[in-house]
Structure 1
Amino acid sequence: MGKKRVTSFDVAKRAGVSRSVVSAVLNDTPGIGVGAETREAVLEAIRELNYHVDAGARSMKTGRSMTLAAYGDTRHPLFTRLLEGMQRECELSGYHILLCSPRHKGNANGRAELLELYHQRKIDGIVTLDHTSYGDQEWASRIGDAGIPYVSVEGYAEVSGVYSVLADYSGSVETALNYLLREGTPQQPGPVYAEVYHEHSADNWAERNRRDAYTGWCSAHGMEPVVIRLEEHHGAWTECLQRLADSGPQHAPLLVNWSSAIPDLYRAAHKLGLRIGEDVRIMAADDTIQGHRLSLPSLSCVEIPYVSMGEEAVRCLHTQMNGGMGAGQAEKIWLPAVLRPGESA
C-alpha cells in the first residue's frame, strides 16, 4: 500500500488555520492578508508534513501548467545555449521547460504534437529555434488560430504577425569590421568578406543583412568591397588566402560570416605557412561553434547572444500570456551581438 498523500487540509489542520489561508501562503494570493506568525506556522507545517503542491490541481484552478515547450534540435550547440537562457528566466517565474525535438530532419509532426500539448493544457507557450530562412505560413496560421503564446527564435524575420527574437546581424558585421581596423592596428588594405553558405543560407535575410552591412561599411570608409563566396566544408580556402596575399605587402584582413568555417581556414593557412594573427588577420561575424574557445590562436569573433535570446523569448511568452503586447511594442525583438576579442585579429 502506498503512503497516503499529504493534502492542504492536513497542512491547515496542523497549522490551525483554514485551507484558504494555506492557499494564500502558497500562492501569495492578493487581497488576503496573512500575518507573519500565521505564515510561519503554515510554512512549518508544510516542512513537517513534507507537503508538495498538487500540480494537476493547481493547473485546473489557474489554467496554467507552469511549463513551456522548447522545440529544436537537441544535438545542436546553439539550442543548448538557447535553453540555458530559457532556464534562467523560467527559474525566476517558477516555470519548467519541456524539451521537444523533431524525430528526424524535415519532420513536421513534432510541431503538430506541440499543438496537442497546448490543447491538453500540458504547456502554456512555445519557443522554437528555427533557421534564419524559416517562415512556414501554415504553422504560423495554426498557432494564431489557436491563440497559443508563441515565439520563434531566428525565424519569421520578414513575416508580420509572428513574435520573433532575432540577432542584429548588420550590427555584428559593423562591430567586427570596426574591431579589425581599430586604431593602433597596422595599415592594411580594405577587409575581405568570405561568405560561407549551406542549403539554408544561400540568400536568406541574415546573410543579406551581413553582406549589405559589409558593403555599406566599405563604402562609408572609402574602401572597395571584396566578397568571396564558398560552400561549407568545400571552401577553396587556399585560393582565398592567396587572394589576400596578392592584395599587397600587407595581407587584407579577412572577415568570415561563420566560425564553423574557421577550422578549415586555419588548416589552409597552416599548409601555406601563414601565421594567424600575424601574417593574416582573421575574424568571424557569427560564433556558431564558440570558436574563440576552441581555436588556436584564439579566434576574434562576434558572438550571437543565444543565451540572452532564450531569456527574451521567455519574457515575450509571459507578456503574451498576461494579456498580449501593448501598443507600441514590436513583435520583432532585435538583440545586439557581443564582441569576443582573440589572438587571430
Structure 2
Amino acid sequence: MSKKRVTSFDVAKRAGVSRSVVSAVLNDTPGIGVGADTREAVLEAIRELNYHVDAGARSMKTGRSMTLAAYGDTRHPLFIRLLEGMQRECELGGYHILLCSPRPKGNAGGRAELLELYHQRKIDGIVTLDHTSYRDEEWASRVSAAGVPYVSVEGYAEVPGVQSVLADYSGSVETAMNYLMRESTAQQPGPVYAEVYHEGEADNWAERNRREAYTSWCTSRGMEPVIVRLEEHGGAWADCLQRLTVGSGQPSAPLLVNWSSAIPDLYRAAHKLGLRIGADLRIMAADNTIQGDRLSLPSLSCVEIPYVSMGEEAVRCLLAQMSGGNGNKAGHQAGKIWLPAVLRAGESA
C-alpha cells in the first residue's frame, strides 16, 4: 500500500501554526509577517515530515507551472549553449526547463505540441532556437492568438511584433576587423572576406549584415572590399589562399572568414601550401560556431556569438512578458534585443 501523502495541514499541526502561516513560509507571501522562531518551526516540521509542495495544487492556485519550454535540437552545440544560459536564469527565478525537440515531419515541426502544453498549464512560456532566416508567420500568429509568452532566439529578425533575442552580426564584423587590422601598415594589403556557404543554403539577414558591415568598414577607410564565396568542404581553399599570398617577403592579405566551422579545411590548405598561420597568413573568424578557438592550432582569433547570454536574456524576456511587460530595454528596437559578440583573441591573427 502507498504511504499517505503529507499535506500542509500536517505541517501546520506539527509546527503549531495555521496553514496560512505555512503557505507564507513556503511562498514568501508579501504582507504576512512571520517571525524567525515561527519560520524555523515550520521549516523543522517540513524536514521532519519530509513534506514536498504539490506542484499541481500550486499551479492551480497561482496559475503558474514554474516551467519554461526550450525548443531546439539537442544534437546542436548552439542549443546546448543556449540551454546553459536559460538554466542559469531559471535557477534564479525558481523555474525549470522542459526540453522539446523538432519533429521530422508534420505537427508544425513539433511546435503545435508546445501550444498544447501551454493550454494544459504544463509550461508558462516558450523559447525557440531558430535559424537566422526563420520567419514562420503562421506559427507567430498562433502563438499571439493563444497569448503565450514567447521569445525566438535568432528568428524573426525582420518581422515586427515577435519578441526576438538576436546577435549583432554587424557589430561582430566591426569588432573582428578592428582586431584583425590593429597593426596594419601602408604595405599591408586590405583584408579579404571569405563567405563560406552550405550547398543550397539561401541568403539570410545575418550573412547580409556581415557582408555589408565588412564592405562599409573597408570603404570608410579607403580600402577596396574583396569578397570570395566558397562552398563548405568544396576544396577551394588552396586557390583562395594562393590569391592572398602576394609573393616572397610580402605580407599576405588578412582573411576574415564568416564561420569557424570552415577553419579546419582552411588550416589544412595552408599547411599544404607551407603557410604558417599567424605569421605568413593572418586569419580570423566572424562567428565561432564550433568554438574553433579551442579546437585549432595555432589557436583561432574570433568573435563568438553569445548564445549563453542569449539564453539568459530570453528567460528574462519571458518573465517580463508574464509580469505584464514587453521584455524590452531602453534603446532596443521594439520586440528585438541585440547582443554584442565577444572577442576571443588567439594566435592566428
Q: Normalised by the size of structure 1, how large is the TM-score?
A: 0.96
Report if the CA contact (8 A) 2:199-2:231 is conserved.
Answer: no
Fraction of identical pairs, as percent? 86
Report if the CA contact (8 A) 2:304-2:341 is conserved.
Answer: yes
- 5+ long unaligned stretches in structure 2: none
Letter in 2 for 1:121: R
For the residues of structure 1 that align with 2:247 and 2:18, how far apart are their CA atoms? 82
Structure 2 partner of 1:182: 182
Structure 2 partner of 1:315: 316
For the residues of structure 1 that align with 2:26 and 2:200, how far apart are their CA atoms? 48
Structure 1 partner of 2:289: 288
Q: Are the structure 2 counterparts of residues 279 and 104 from structure 1 closer, same or farther at C-alpha, using a change threshold of 3 Å?
A: same
Structure 2 partner of 1:103: 103
Q: Matched residue of 2:343: which SS?
A: strand
Structure 2 partner of 1:168: 168
Report if the CA contact (8 A) 2:102-2:109 is conserved.
Answer: yes
Q: Matched residue of 1:227: which SS?
A: strand
Q: What are the equivalent positions in structure 2 for 1:177-216 lying under 5 Å apart?
A: 177-183=177-183, 187-198=187-198, 202-216=202-216
- 47-56 vs 104-113, greater mean Cα deviation: 104-113
Report if the CA contact (8 A) 1:87-1:97 is conserved.
Answer: yes
For the residues of structure 1 that align with 2:260 and 2:213, how far apart are their CA atoms? 18
Report if the CA contact (8 A) 1:86-1:313 is conserved.
Answer: yes
For the residues of structure 1 that align with 2:300 and 2:264, how far apart are their CA atoms? 10
For the residues of structure 2 that align with 1:51 and 1:187, how far apart are their CA atoms? 74
For the residues of structure 1 that align with 2:145 and 2:123, how far apart are their CA atoms? 17
For the residues of structure 2 that align with 1:199 and 1:66, how far apart are their CA atoms? 42
For the residues of structure 2 that align with 1:185 and 1:116, how far apart are their CA atoms? 61
Q: Matched residue of 1:165: which SS?
A: strand
Structure 2 partner of 1:262: 263
1:334 is matched with which residue: 334, 338, 341? 338
For the residues of structure 1 that align with 2:160 and 2:66, how far apart are their CA atoms? 28
Give the Å deviation of 1:103: 2.9
- 44-53 vs 84-93, greater mean Cα deviation: 44-53
Q: Matched residue of 1:274: which SS?
A: coil
For the residues of structure 2 that align with 1:158 and 1:279, how far apart are their CA atoms? 40
Q: Matched residue of 1:317: which SS?
A: helix
Alpha-carbon deviations, 1:67-101, whole Å to 9, x = none? 00000111000000000000000000000000011
For the residues of structure 2 that align with 1:118 and 1:200, how far apart are their CA atoms? 36
- 99-108 vs 85-94, greater mean Cα deviation: 99-108
Alpha-carbon deviations, 1:223-256, whole Å to 9, x = none? 1100001112215101110110138821000000
Report if the CA contact (8 A) 1:133-1:200 is conserved.
Answer: no
Letter in 1 for 2:53: V
Report the RMSD for the aligned CA atoms in angstroms.
1.7
In the alignment, does 2:28 pair up with 1:28? yes
Letter in 1 for 2:286: A
Q: Matched residue of 2:97: which SS?
A: strand
Q: Normalised by the size of structure 2, how large is the TM-score?
A: 0.95
- 5+ long unaligned stretches in structure 1: none
Q: What are the equivalent positions in structure 2 for 1:1-150 lying under 5 Å apart?
A: 1-104=1-104, 108-150=108-150
Give the number of equivalent residue pairs.
345
Report if the CA contact (8 A) 2:317-2:327 is conserved.
Answer: no
Q: Matched residue of 1:270: which SS?
A: helix
Give the Å deviation of 1:107: 6.7
Q: Matched residue of 1:158: which SS?
A: coil
Q: What are the equivalent positions in structure 2 for 1:292-311 lying under 5 Å apart?
A: 292-311=293-312
For the residues of structure 1 that align with 2:335 and 2:200, how far apart are their CA atoms? 24
In the alignment, does 2:285 pair up with 1:279? no
For the residues of structure 2 that align with 1:276 and 1:186, how far apart are their CA atoms? 21
